[in-house]
Amino acid sequence: MHWPVVCENREGAGAAAGGRRGCGMPPPFRIAVLGAQGVGKTAIVQRFLHDDYSEGPVPATSHARRVHLSAAVLNGHVHDLQITDYPAIPSFPGSSLQEWTDSCCRGVRSAHVYILVYDICCFDSFEYVKTIRQQILETRVVGTGDTPILIVGNKRDLQRGRVIPRRNVSDLVRKNWKCGYVECSAKFNWHVLLLFGEALRSIGCASCKHVHATIRFQRALRNERCALM
């Protein structure tokens, strides 16, 4: 399935979003991107927002969380997106106190959807995803319902180095974990739009009960707003 072209990145989107929500604009969808170091989380986000990919060294700010503001049309309604690219956190915070004590974790417990990324060529990165997913389940606030989790296998372009057969991972994730599963390549821009489309569709299904969500991304209407925290 191919999602229609496009993603909107906005400068000054926070103030604008606040004004629109005052006029009946739906609240922003908060997307948390998590994974072990080196799996390509930032590369996926940059590819989605800017259609850009860099193989350069990881910047010194890689230990800070990056908050990006964008937008999407879901079932005919414009939604602001808050995409937070988290560093490799040692564990998922078990309480709000833990969440706000560690600046790298702030906001992670209030996400509407979790995108857990692993490197298909690194077994340890999949074990990290497995652990974080279990911790998310164990620390969910009672009465908040199930926050969707999407498992993403990155670096599909390195298919020959895969350490776990795709079918085995897919069956485990979809049948046992009851999560969505997508494989992508940030380097070659393969299935990057698809994975964000799946993430938003899971939010739409959870919050709006729309089984067949129509999603449209709108790109580059304004410069992106990104904050390092």
- Encode the chain (229 residues) as per-residue pLDDT tens digits: 333 323 344 433 444 445 455 555 567 899 999 999 999 999 999 999 999 998 876 665 567 899 999 988 776 778 889 999 999 999 999 999 999 999 899 999 999 999 999 999 999 999 999 999 999 999 876 555 689 999 999 999 999 999 999 999 999 999 999 999 999 999 999 999 999 999 988 886 555 444 344 555 554 333 445 555 4
Domains and CATH numbers, the chain: 8-228 (3.40.50.300)
H or E segment and range at residue 15: helix 13-22
The pLDDT score that the predictor gives to residue 12 is 39
Q: How far apart are CA 165 and CA 85, in angstroms?
A: 27
The pLDDT score that the predictor gives to residue 77 is 75
Q: How far apart are CA 117 and CA 12, in angstroms?
A: 29
Q: Beta strand pairing status for 225-228 and 77-85?
A: unpaired
The pLDDT score that the predictor gives to residue 78 is 81
The pLDDT score that the predictor gives to residue 144 is 54
The pLDDT score that the predictor gives to residue 145 is 63
The pLDDT score that the predictor gives to residue 16 is 45
The pLDDT score that the predictor gives to residue 210 is 42
The pLDDT score that the predictor gives to residue 62 is 61
The pLDDT score that the predictor gives to residue 146 is 83
Residue 73, by phi and psi: left (phi above 0), alpha (psi -120 to 50) or beta? beta
Q: How far apart are CA 122 and CA 39, in angstroms?
A: 8
pTM above 0.85, yes or no: no
Nearest to 113 by CA among 83, 86, 135: 83
Instruction: Give the ranges where 142-191 is alpha helix by DSSP (H).
Output: 166-171
Q: Which residues lie closer than 8 Å to 179 by C-beta, 6 or more apart?
A: 133, 148, 149, 150, 151, 173
Q: Strand locations in the chain, DSSP E? A: 8-9, 29-35, 66-74, 77-85, 113-119, 149-154, 180-183, 215-217, 225-228
Q: How far apart are CA 88 and CA 117, in angstroms?
A: 11
User: What is the DSSP secondary-structure string of 99-155?
Assistant: HHHSGGGTTGGG-SEEEEEEETT-HHHHHHHHHHHHHHHHTPPTTS-PPPEEEEEE-
The pLDDT score that the predictor gives to residue 89 is 95
